[in-house]
Amino acid sequence: MRALISVSDKTGIVELAQALHALGVSLISTGGTAKLLAEKGLPVREVAEVTGFPEMLDGRVKTLHPKVHGGLLARRDMPEHMAALEAHGIDTIDLLIVNLYPFEATVARAGCTLDDAIENIDIGGPAMVRSAAKNWKDVAVLTDAAQYPAVIDELSAHGRLSLKTRFALSVAAFNRISNYDAAISDYLSSIEFDESAAVPARSEFAGQSNGRFVKLQDLRYGENPHQSAAFYRELYPAPGSLVSARQLQGKELSYNNIADADAAWECVKSFEAP
């Protein structure tokens, strides 16, 4: 089994790589991540060694290469795919660990320049994530450090990841890419471009707004008993909003319960004193 690791946020990555190495997984990595793993005594091949092509353009081009994407996208159940890999000297990649350049955190900082924002738009990372997630039957893709422990536990117990796990990781990966692209669109659509301004002015209302919502629960019914409904929250909910509340007792909620609770909570919030 081969794993390709390319992360911006290195939280937990050394421990993950150590666990993978102990399980006999070969490690491939990029730039700073490869250096970190090598410093920890782990045997790791740099992507440039695999592709036979150096990283270039200040790291803008590292993994955009057939020896990476071929290894991720090849279907193991199709002889013609495997024959193509063999003909071109491409090895399969079975596990991809990627997190993306911190675009959201960058543009949230006061004084963020347009140049800083643009340089934090990841290209190679999302491309690899999409390749691996598309080929989820053969490749597992990890996009969040919170996924590491469960994946190691399953690999340790069974020697492989189940189709159910790989599919869930694929869904999480596509969700991450969707949210990432939406954040980029929200930011760029809000800019009032002025070539003389390093820090661009931003409109209060962006030219395109990309809502991102996460389901909290299915509801007992909608506004009327014959209707179905679910309760969603924004990806980044406002502090103190109803979606951060926890139900302590009582039966499953309906749409009307949520609407009434929200109205009551907003009413209470309007008072400055108890």
Q: What is the pLDDT of residues 143-191, one digit of tens each?
A: 999 999 999 999 999 999 999 999 999 999 999 999 999 999 999 898 8
Q: Residue 199: what pLDDT?
A: 85
Whether the full predicted model's pTM is greater than 0.75, yes or no, is: yes
- Is the separation of the CB atoms in 109 and 135 below 8 Å? no
- Residue 119 Cα distances to 107, 179, 207, 215, 273, angstroms: 11, 18, 22, 32, 47
Pairing of strands 213-218, 230-234: antiparallel
* CATH class entry, domain 2-192: alpha beta
Q: Residue 97: what pLDDT?
A: 96
Q: Residue 243: what pLDDT?
A: 86
Q: What is the pLDDT of residues 173-183, one digit of tens each?
A: 999 999 999 99
Gap between the terminal Cα atoms of the chain: 61
Angle at 57 between CA 143 and CA 115, to 5 degrees: 75
Report phi then psi at 75, rounded to 5: -85, 125
Query: How many CB atoms are closer than 10 A to CB 28?
Result: 25
- What are the boundaries of each domain within the chain? 2-192, 213-269
Q: Residue 161: what pLDDT?
A: 94
Which residues of the chain are modeled with pLDDT < 70?
none
